[in-house]
Amino acid sequence: MPLSLKGIARSARPKQWIKNFFILAPLIFSQNLFDVPLLINSAIAFAAFCLLSSSLYILNDIQDLDEDKHHPVKSKRPLASGEINRTQAWMAFGLLLTASAVVSVIFLNRNFMIALLIYVILQFSYSYGLKHVVILDVFIVAAGFIIRVIAGGFAINVHISHWLLICTLLLALFLALSKRRHEMVLLGKEAVNHRPILEEYSLYLLDQMIAVVTASTIIAYCLYTISEGTVTRFGTYELIYTVPFVLYGIFRYLYLIHRKSEGGSPETLIIKDRPLLIDVFLWVVAVVVIVYGRGG
């Protein structure tokens, strides 16, 4: 069959690149956002991770082809729908993976390469076994976000705050658990056939976990904004004023999960839901103004 570049591009899932913006967190909170060389390094790291993650998305589609064909949403993906074939998918996987490695070797450092390698090992471990281990499966998903943050720090050689890692872990768990809940609601009795690990969960259990992680995320962020280290570093207590944006964002996300049956694709939801998108934008603006207005 003829090669469909559009199909390959869709399989790369560019919408999910929004997850890779976590790489920029160390740049922002280290007060180096306007340092051009470091900004360029972060942009290159972002590009390398986009290439890598896209290659792994395609690999995942190859592995889950039979299950995806029977999924109400994933059956429309290029490989599952027949727009591209396995050979073309394998070629795209190899090219994207190679491109990511080349970019990293030429422009970035060894520590960043190690972070990339750990991410690949983690994703392979997830795909070939750990996705079938209850609770650990969502922790592996969350670990992917933490590695993004760590890789972002390595790319510009800055120290990563333990608060940033804690908040990232909790937020990522919140998103991962919400996605599991959405899958159970969307697929109903067929959920187990698509993702066997869902047999170990229930809506009640997931709601309890989400409640714990939600409260923990808010508390951790509040403590971060008023911690002695944060105040000393940025020279201001005003970061506490960004808490309402975090509260609204989480509450809005919970509303979309429970009242609109959303949450299956966080990266799409953030873009699609205007109130949530505006809230995230205002939070970023507020953080930049406060962090760079006093301490930058």
- Residues, the chain, total? 296
Tokens coding 174? 């919140």
Q: Looking at this protein, which amino acid is placed at residue 72?
A: P
Q: How confident is the model at residue 123 (pLDDT cuts 50, 70, 90)?
A: confident
* Cβ contact 217:171 at 8 Å: yes
pTM: 0.86
Distance CA 11, CA 89 (A): 8
* Tens digits of residue pLDDT in 210-265: 999 999 999 999 999 999 888 888 888 899 999 999 999 999 999 998 887 776 67
Q: How confident is the model at residue 295 (pLDDT cuts 50, 70, 90)?
A: very low
Instruction: Please give the pLDDT value at position 296.
Output: 44
* Cβ contact 136:130 at 8 Å: yes
Strand, coil or helix: 236: coil
Strand, coil or helix: 141: helix
Q: Is the pLDDT reported for residue 39 higher than 50?
A: yes
Tokens coding 24? 């920029």
Q: Is the pLDDT reported for residue 284 higher than 60?
A: yes
What does 34-84 look like in DSSP terms, one character per residue?
A: T-HHHHHHHHHHHHHHHHHHHHHHHHHHHHTHHHHTTSTTGGGSHHHHTSS
Distance CA 232, CA 223 (A): 14
As to burial, measured by CB atoms within 10 angstroms (0-12 exposed, 13-18 middle, 19+ buried), residue 291 is buried
Q: Is the pLDDT reported for residue 58 higher than 90?
A: no
**Which of 124, 119, 88 is CA-nearest to residue 101?**
119
